[in-house]
Structure formats: structure tokens, C-alpha cells
Amino acid sequence: MTPSAPVLRVEHHPQPALGVGEDRPRLSWHLEDAPAAYRQGAYEVAWRTTAPDGAVLEDTAAVVDGAAQVLVPWPGAPLGPRARAEVRVRTRDGGADDAGWGPWSEPAVVERGLTAADWTAELVGPGYDEGPVETRRAPLLRRGFDVPGREVRSARLHLTAHGLVEAELNGQRVGRDELVPGWTPYDDRLRVYAYDVTDLVRTGENALGTWLADGWFRGRYGFEGGTRDLYGTHVGVLAQLEVVTDAGTVVVGGDASWRSAPGPLTRASLYDGETYDARLLPAGWSEPGFDDAGWSPVAVLPLDRSVLAAPDGPPVRCTGELAPVSVTRAPGPDGEDGWLVDFGQNHSGRPRLTVPAAPAGTTVRVRHAEVLQGGTLYTRTLREAAATDEVVTDGAAITWEPRFTVHGYRYAHVSGWPGEDAPEIVSRVLHSDMARTGWFASSDPDLDRLHENVVWSLRSNFVDIPTDCPQRDERLGWTGDIQAFAPTAAFLYDVHGMLGDWLRTLSAEQRRFGGTVPVYVPWIPGGRFWDPAQDVAGWGDAATLVPEALHRDSADVALLERQYASAVGWVDKVAGLAGPDRLWDTGMQLGDWLDPTAPPEDPLRAQTDPHLVATAYLARSARSVAEMARTLGRDDDAARYGTLADEVAAAYRKRYVDSGDPMHDTQTAHALSIVFDLLDGDDARLRAGERLAALVRDGGWTVGTGFAGTPLVADALSSTGQLDAAYALLLSHASPSWLAMVDLGATTIWERWDSMLTDGTVNPGEMTSFNHYALGSVADWLHRVVAGLAPLEPGYRTFRVAPRPGGGLIRAQARHVTPYGTAEVAWRIEDGELVVRCVVPVGTTAELDVPGLEPAVLGHGRHEVRAPAARPESPLHR
């Protein structure tokens, strides 16, 4: 038997990888199957590199001895701008002298993008007076051009904007990407997307058109009414189309010959939604032959081309559609007549409607909300986000959806609908187009619904950057939220490209503020409360703990190397604040943000001392930097930061452990002490676990933790012999708890444990969202402990098969696509036996740790073991 053909990847990019920034992109592969004794001893890479005109630049192969198969170095010459490589790989068994080569992989395609020196195009924007900022319309820009020759051999459009852009070639939309180019600090890094448009370009007459909108660049964004013109006052598009034909190469780029005019989007806002007036669309405007003599010349705008960069992560796209589960006649939130639409699932997206023919000027309005109260949309929690879309018809039937907005919602209200029939509507689900990599299931449908809620909150909030919520006038990249959730996210989806890209922004903003990591990234003005100079524990620690989580899942050492200065800078800054006594007990802290005792009007009022939380995080991040340094071979740094972590832990014990202060005797305080390894010895850990279990029991098996404690509390219990208490907490239906949310109809994770009160009314607090992922970080414990699938080495080169049944569950399973292939653990209890099945990918080993069995090491393949097992019960069920 020979191994299967490798499945080949390039960096963290989907296939085909166009417009990448790496000149030596790393390669990874996995084998779906191989003989039991197979061990890779060598691999051969073959690559063929060509220029856009088809000229061969390199065509060769190389054999490399060794077992490496994850993020291995590029074997050939660096890829120049526009170069295209098709790469294949095959492997050879190192365990047999006469082993031959296995089959070749399917080719992976990678194309390098443009460098700053390759751009001839200018940034161009509307050249007319756009009027007051409150009423300016989204502009259209176009240019006609000729392509000589008889055959188009290849064509690439390189595209970005100040604002948001969507391109059309000869009347056809380019690509499926949404909200391009996404959100970065535009004066530091501006992403460029590359599109294969060979099929859209033709010889002879052509036309290129672009829609533009304000987006994050100059649209209203932020707290307390928001800020306009955050990054500039003029939107513009940077487009360079390169066409290769039998007659040569044609380059069409932005310049003064382009034309501009106001478009049919009379309102285009990320918070407020869009108004599209079909009567204002110039027919054929992006097609050849259109008469643009009445349009205005464009303005050529300044641009520092050195900030242009390729994206690391995937773009935002529509990843599916939700059909309504019900459409009923009902009044809107202001009493307007219309139709109430329930899509059955809270999500990020936008509507698509098919509106029948009606008199010109008919306006159909769609409003959005997460929940209902009193039988209609509840919009107070949106604060100053209007979340309203409108289409004004020109008399003809139209299928329409907004272009440059996104909403967080489950319910929509449609008013102005022509006729008596119910609206024809679907919701288009939008988020970064990441591949799903993790799954969980159990014998408890409520627990499965909880896990599904976690998945949907991730999908809803990974919209180009990791946001806090997708619906209200916020939607910012809060560092504390993703710090808590990164391990869960890395299991469930391939977030490495997206979060790696966001970490570049974190580093840039950290440099901008002198070592401080802002509480949200990118940074924008935050009203009266949020000061960019604040150093906040748990939030700034995203600089250390997000790279750590990504490395644990992917084994990407280059990411650690790139983010190392940022991580060190954060720990050094905080160590300086802590001073020689190693206690970070100064300054405003968010602490255990939104623990369940925090009143609606004061989310800062938590049970746990915020400076205890701060000192604990300093120790945790110092330890994280020490481990990074060790991985990177920086032994002196590893020793120095390891010593710092020890000193902070000692100071923490002296100040906070056994102090008698009730703010130090909380679920979060003990969870931090245990999981962050701040206690002195096993006996102290076990005592802390017993005390934590007592607090959980005395609290009626309800959660007493906020953003700091929630990711840790179940681990703190299970790792100190309190597994039954962990299950009792997990499976409790008493409020506050995860399953109490489920009982109240949640389809995502809430911001507050009581975003909806037990009587079904909405929490009166101004800050109330039904779609935040931070409290869903418990899913990481479901994967590692309940199902029993946990990495021991970065990238799952070795991992644990260590299920811990409990809580009355009779089965559970988790599956994760590791860099080496799919790993899986599934267990069930039947006839007094615990039956454990697992799948170990080729190139990895698993350490079996099942109660009642001797430890064992498992090679690749499928395995089943059985052990005596009593049906476990949680204290909650006794």
C-alpha cells in the first residue's frame, strides 16, 4: 500500500492564492492515508514559475530529507512581482530502504502581487463637489479602454481604495469579495486584492467601472454619535488592470482620464444601512460605449504607495443564505404597517429582496434587530445605528441587496412592500471567508445548541477584523474579547490568516501609542471614556496570548518571530508600571469585565479586585513571552522573562492569596490563580480548586465570572479534581449560566449573562448585545476536556486523547483539521463500558489518557479502546 497523494497548501492562503505578498511562501501538506508503519523520510517539491505572458522563469524540482511537512521553506528562487508558480509535492517513506515515491499532489497555485515600484496607477476619486457630509452620495468612477490583438491570454485587476470599492468590467461584477479592502490604519497599511479577470476582458473596446462608499475610511463610526472622516475627507480607488494578449501587454490604471458621477446609493453607511434609488442608476455605465461626457473629471489624490500590502487573510464574502422561518403581518418598531421576518438565527449579514413591479418611486424599507419585545423589533440596543436599508424602485421588478453595509440581526421588518403577498426575502450571511476546522457534538441537545451559538457568534464577529458585536454603533476590534476567545476560534475555523493580519495592525497601533496596546484595534476616537494611553490588563495581553494561541494550533514560528517585539514591548511596559514590588495595582482596570453581578448601569462593578486580575495577567504574559523566546532560541530572554513571571507570581501570592478580602475569594480569583499557575505547589492548587467548587456550589451552580474568569473556570475545576463541579456549572440551567441563555432562545452568545432577563425582557443597560463571543470561550474546554482532543505540541504534532466523561453525558466527540490532517476523538458509554474511538493523522502521534486504561502512544490511523465505566452523574443531577 502506498500513501495517498498529499494535500498541499501555501502559507495560510486559500487556493488559488493570488496577489500574495510573500516572495518565498512556505508550503504545508498532509496525507489523508498511509500504511501503518509509514513515516515520511523525504519529500520532493516540483515547481514551475511563469511570467504573465507565459514565459517560463523556473521549472525544476528538489528533494529534501526529513519529516517536515508544515510551513516548510520555499524551495526555489524568490517569486518576483506578478510571477505565478504551480507547485506539487510527493513524499517517500523513511522506514524502508526500498521505499519508492508516493503520488504527486494536485498542483497548488500561488501568484505574487505587485510591489510599490510596480504601480503606475494613481488614486482617483470624485472630482465634483460632493456637498455636505450628511447627504453625500456614493460615487461611480469609470474609464473606457481598448485592448489590441486577437486573444486575451491573462488579465489581473489589482484593486484597493480609500473607502470601500466594488469593481465591474464590461458590466460584470469582479469577484465575490465584500467590504474591500477591509479595515486597517490606512496610513500604515492598505490592503490590495488581486483578481483573475481573464474571462471578463475582451479584445477591442472595454470599460472598467467602480462603486465607491465611505466605509471605515470616512463614514460615521464610533461611540457617542461617531466620528466622520476618520482617515481622510476624500474617497478614492486605486485600480491597475494588466492585460496580456498576443499583441503585448496593456496596463489600465487610475489617472486623470477617468470620469466620475454621483451614483444611485444616496446613503451608504456601515452603521445606518443603505438607500438605493434605482431611478438614479445610469444604464450601462460600466459597459463599453457608455457616454460619460456629462460626468466630471476625477480628482487625482495623494497616496504613499509604500503602505500598499497584500492581505494575509481571506476577504469578507457571502458564505450562505438564510431563508425565513416565518413571515407575518406585524407593525414595525414605530408602529408602521409591514411584515415581520424571522430568520431563526442571529447573524451578520444583509437582506436580498425580489421586489415586484410597482410604480416608480415605491420605497421598500427593511429594518433589523436581534430580538423582539412586545411582538415587534427591539431597536433600543442598537443605540445610534439606524440599521435600515431602503430600495426605491424605477417601476420595474428588481432583485436587490445592499452593497456596502452589514447588520447584526435575526429579525427584519419590511414596510412599503407592494401588493398583498408576503415579501420574497432571504438574508445573506457575511463574514471573513474562513474554512471551518472544528466541530463538537454530544448527547445533550442543549449543550450542542450552546456550541452552535459559539460558532455563530464567531461567524458574526469575524468580519474582516475580530469585532465585539455586529449590530450596534460599535463593532470594534476589542483586544480583550479576542484574547479570551482566540483558542476557541483557532479550533473552530482557520483564523490564522485573518488574525495574523489583525496582529499586524495591533503592532502598528502599539508603536503609535508608545508601547500601549489599545483596548480596541484599529484605534479610533472613543468619546469620553476610552483613552488610547490606558494600559488595560486582559486587553493589552492580546499582544502575547493571541500569537500564543495561533502558534499552538498552527506551529507557525514565523508569526511568533514577527510579533515578538510587540509581545515583549507590552510586558516591558506593564512590568514598568508594576515597579519593583511586581504588583500591577495602579491605574484604571476593566478587571473581570461584565461579571454577572455588574449592574446594568455600571459594567465595571465586578466582584473581583481588578488589580488582582491585572497582576495575574502580568505573570501570564511574562510566562508567555518566556515560552516564545524559548521557541525562537532566545535563551537569555527566556530566562529573564521566566524570572519575571516567577517574581510576579510570588508577589501575587503574598498580596492576594489567603488575604481574607472577599474580592480575592471569587470564582475568577481562584480560576486565575489555578490556570495561570500562580500558586505554590500542588497542595495549594487542590485547596484552591476545592474552594472554587464550593463557591460554585454555594452559588447554586451558576456562573460568577466575566471576561477574565469565564475562559478559565471550567479548566480550573477539572484540573484540580473537581470535574463534577465543572460539569454541574456547564450544564446548569439556572441563571446566570450558559444554558440559561439557551433556554431563553439564544442562537448566539450574549454580551451579558443577562442580556435578556428571565422574564423575557431586555436588560435595560445601554450596553446590551446578543452577539458577543467572549463568554463562549468555554467551548475550548468542551473540545479539550469533554471530548478530549488537546494539542501537546504546536500544530498537533502530538496530541492528547483524554476524554473526561461526566455530567450525565453518554457521548461526545470533537474533530479538528490540524496542519497534519483531521484529528478526531469520539466516546460513548454503553453497557457499562467507555468506548473511545480516535483518528490520528499521518505524521502525528497521540497520547492516550483514558480513565481505567494504561497510558499508551498511538500512531496514525483509526483506533478504538474500551474501559469499564459507570455512567457519570454531575452533582447537579443528584
Torsion of CA 240, 241, 243, 248, to 10 degrees: -40
Number of Cβ within a 10 Å radius of residue 199: 10
Number of Cβ within a 10 Å radius of residue 319: 16
CB 493 within 8 A of CB 434: yes
Q: Report CA 572 to chain centroid distance, whole Å.
A: 28
Region of residue 119 (phi > 0: left; psi between -120 and 50: alpha; otherwise: beta): beta
Cell of 72: 516548510
Query: Which among 242, 474, 548, 824 is annotated as catalytic?
Result: 474
CA dist., res. 368 & res. 371, Å (int): 9
CB 803 within 8 A of CB 836: yes
CA dist., res. 98 & res. 849, Å (int): 36
Q: How far is CA 774 from CA 465, 522, 581, 598, in A?
A: 15, 19, 32, 16
Q: Which among 221, 237, 260 has a CA at the least distance from the CA of 162?
A: 237
Number of Cβ within a 10 Å radius of residue 691: 17
- How many Cα atoms occupy the beta-carbon half-sphere of 122 within 13 Å? 11
The residue count of the chain comes to 878
Which DSSP letter does residue 79 get? P
CB 542 within 8 A of CB 502: no
Cell of 620: 501570564
CA dist., res. 450 & res. 440, Å (int): 10
Number of Cβ within a 10 Å radius of residue 401: 20
Cell of 536: 488595560
* Three-class DSSP category at 166: strand
Cell of 862: 483509526
CA dist., res. 781 & res. 725, Å (int): 14
Find out whether the peptide bond into 603 is cis, omega within 30 degrees of 0.
no
Number of Cβ within a 10 Å radius of residue 601: 10
CA dist., res. 120 & res. 250, Å (int): 12
Query: Which among 111, 242, 627, 751 is annotated as catalytic?
Result: 751
Q: Which among 383, 390, 370, 379 has a CA at the least distance from the CA of 221?
A: 383
CA dist., res. 208 & res. 210, Å (int): 7
For the question of residue 751 being annotated catalytic, the response is yes
Q: How far is CA 138 from CA 43, 219, 514, 729, in A?
A: 53, 11, 37, 51
* Three state DSSP letters for 336-373: CCCEEEEEEEEEEEEEEEEECCCCCCCEEEEEEECCEE
254 residue type, one letter: G
CA dist., res. 432 & res. 453, Å (int): 18
The residues annotated as belonging to the active site are 474, 751
